[in-house]
A and B are shown apart, each in its own frame.
Chain A
Amino acid sequence: MKKAILALVLSTGLTAFTNAQTMLPLLTAESGNRSVEQANCWGFGSISYTNAAAQLITGTTSMRSNAPTNLDPNACWIKTPWIKPTTGNITMKIKFEATASASTRRIILSYSPYDAAAGSSKEGTYVRFDSIQYTPLLPTTAQSLTFALPTAIRNSTTPYKVRISFVGTGGTTRYNIDDVMIPAIYWSDPSNSCLPLPTIVDKDKDGVADADDAYPEDGARAYNTDLVKEATLMFEDLWPNTGDYDFNDLVTKYNAIAVTNADNNVVEVLLNVELRAIGASFNNGFLMQFDNLESKRITSVKGNSLSKTEWVNLSDNGTENDQKYANILIFTEAFKVLTSIGGSGVNVYPDAPYVTPETLKIVISFDTNKDNSTNVKELALNPYIIVNQNREIEVHLADYMPSSKATPKLFGTSKDDSNVEKGRTYRTSSNLPFALQIEKTAPHMVEKQDILKGYLKFAEWAKSNGEVYTDWYSNTEKGYREEKLLYFIKGDK
């Protein structure tokens, strides 16, 4: 991204910048929306925008004062953003809406220095430097006015505001105003309460302020975004047959962070995968597909658990070969990550020995070159298992796409009612899934216990199309869980 910044190297060796400096443009009101100018830090006191033909001076929109009632310059005004005045004259066009119905009309010009101690506005005491007065008959055709910038603020190195007040006594005649020009450098920051442009410290010079930069000394990285803050995945592994619906044949918890740079391209995806339980005799593998993302976007994969099984076939960049989309092997054999101490399964029988879950920290690096870079919105995670070392049998979440290696022969067989071409996958004829992802750390079922026995509001949530009991998995109040049928990993409860 082209950064419009002015870099300044401080004597400390740190790098700092302000956003770009631009001359203050003419205030024409042609946006037609006063909020646009306010967002750019102009101030308006009892000044509105008008497109009534009789009130226009130039263009399709002009400004209009209220009916002045006194000579107080705080009553009705236009204020500039913070500026650094240069040299020259302040100019504007004005007219009145009637020749009479007024005793006095006066335009007063003042400036305010920046005052760090002056409350949220930081405006110091206003200093009046010029004015012009009108008495009837007031001019109803456009008048071009010129005021010299006062010497005290010309070519300033510190910021000021200029206030132009439209005041008067007697009658109801209003001002129309347009094309206000003040020779000055714009020095306001609309993203920082319109205060003067700050000096931003940026040690790694990537354009992201250190205050926002998760990696302030690494120019290649800037932000961490939670693709998945925390989630528990629960699989049944008998697909295309259904099982006992304890959803504990493989249980993992994971989070995924996208690390992006100052160009908003993905540098890495950090996957932390904790294998928590195995409620099966099958030795399953666990993978992650990045849907719709070609493998060539990835430059390396580190931290996964790979065994030398026959089906493992990786490219130089660590992704699986012969896949349409990028597939990452997280672990190839569950029982090599989490070893059963005795008996069947791991962490599914309350009376069996507890096995501390293993966490794999996977780092998936992405190409950041312009022609092959990845935006974070392109990252669509599709976690799945392969069943009992058979690479052709995959189990995904409902309606998630199988990888290129899944055999098409099994779809629509036995209890599966997939129609892959229509995007319907891994559902039974009654629309039941073979895997669940819960966006929280959640206990899984004790072996052979139907998930409805442990999560008592699950059925209501599902039957309501997800409308009621949306907290079925996180609410621990009475009536939501049967805790004796749930298996808690140590530290979760």
Chain B
Amino acid sequence: MKNLMIIAAIAVIGLSSCKKDLMDRVTPASTKTQEVSKFAEIKVQENFDWKTSKEFTMNVAGLETISPINGTMKVTSDDGKIVFYQGLHSMNKSFQTKFMVPVHIKGITVSFGSISKNYSTLAKQIQFDYLTDSTAE
């Protein structure tokens, strides 16, 4: 009887450990709510940059146009309140630029004349071309 109780106790301890390991695996450390009351106690990953903005790279693919078309390339927040980039460009030239976007901005609009495309800020790269959805007439 005594041996049985010992075996049962070991089994319970073992199962508890397994359960904890399993919880560790399914609950990312990042979402655990460990209360920290002082800044000095915060544990962060070594690569955490403490920034509330992130750098975007935009690659614009030029379009071989029948005649040179120059116009203003404009990159803004979705509400148009922040202008991340503006420049005079020819449609037939590819180019790349970079800009910083606050993390609270959820969408970016890139426009060139009447051509306008929206992008999520989840990625840090924007690939823009002048082609629009095929007008299947």
Q: Which residues of A contact B (CB under 8 A)?
A: 1, 3-5, 19-22, 24-25, 31, 34-36, 38-41, 43-46, 81, 186, 188-193, 207-209, 212, 222-229, 242, 245, 260, 262-264, 375-377, 397-399, 430-433, 436-440, 450-453, 459-460, 462-468, 470-471, 473-474
Contacts and interface: CB of A to CB of B under 8 A. Distances in A.
Contacts of A433: 50
A4 B30 CA distance: 54
A81 B69 CA distance: 14
21 contacts: A4-B67, A19-B67, A36-B63, A36-B64, A39-B63, A192-B114, A212-B71, A223-B86, A226-B82, A229-B81, A242-B40, A260-B86, A264-B89, A398-B49, A398-B50, A431-B48, A437-B53, A452-B37, A464-B30, A467-B30, A471-B104
B38 interface: yes
Given A4-B68, A262-B88, A431-B48, A440 B102 contact: yes
Interface stretch (B3-11, B18-26, B127-135): B127-135
B66 A81 contact: yes
Contacts of B49: 398-399, 466
Contacts of B50: 397-398, 433, 436, 462
Contacts of A263: 88
A398 to B, nearest CB: 5
Contacts of B46: 431
Given A39-B132, A225-B86, A226-B82, A19 B42 contact: no
B102 A207 contact: no
Contacts of B51: 397, 437, 466
B34 A260 contact: no
Contacts of B43: 430, 463
A186 B109 CA distance: 29
B65 A207 contact: no
A465 B71 CA distance: 40
Nearest to B46: A431
B38 to A, nearest CB: 5
A460 B33 contact: yes
| Central interface residue in B31, B48, B90, by most chain A CB within 10 Å | B48
B91 A190 contact: yes
B88 A226 contact: no
A237 to B, nearest CB: 15
Contacts of A22: 66-68
Contacts of A20: 67-68
A5 B100 CA distance: 33
Contacts of B29: 463
B135 A38 contact: yes
Which 10 residue pairs of A and B lie closest in terms of their CB atoms, listed nearest first?
Answer: A191-B113, A439-B102, A22-B67, A245-B39, A223-B86, A4-B68, A464-B30, A212-B72, A193-B114, A264-B87
Contact of B52 (A193, A226, A452, A473): A473
Given A191-B113, A473-B52, A463 B87 contact: no
Nearest to A211: B72
Contacts of B69: 19, 189-191
A229 B82 contact: yes
Given A43-B135, A225-B86, A398-B50, A19 B31 contact: no
B134 A462 contact: no
Contacts of B91: 190-191
Given A35-B131, A439-B53, A24 B33 contact: no
A465 B30 CA distance: 7
Contacts of A471: 104
A39 B102 contact: no
B109 to A, nearest CB: 14
Contact of B113 (A31, A38, A189, A226): A189
B103 interface: yes
B126 to A, nearest CB: 13
Contacts of B137: 43-46
Contacts of A228: 100
B39 A452 contact: yes
Nearest to A452: B39
A160 B123 CA distance: 43
A71 to B, nearest CB: 18
A397 B52 CA distance: 12
B27 interface: no
Nearest to A222: B88
Contact of A225 (B48, B71, B85, B113): B85
A39 B66 contact: no
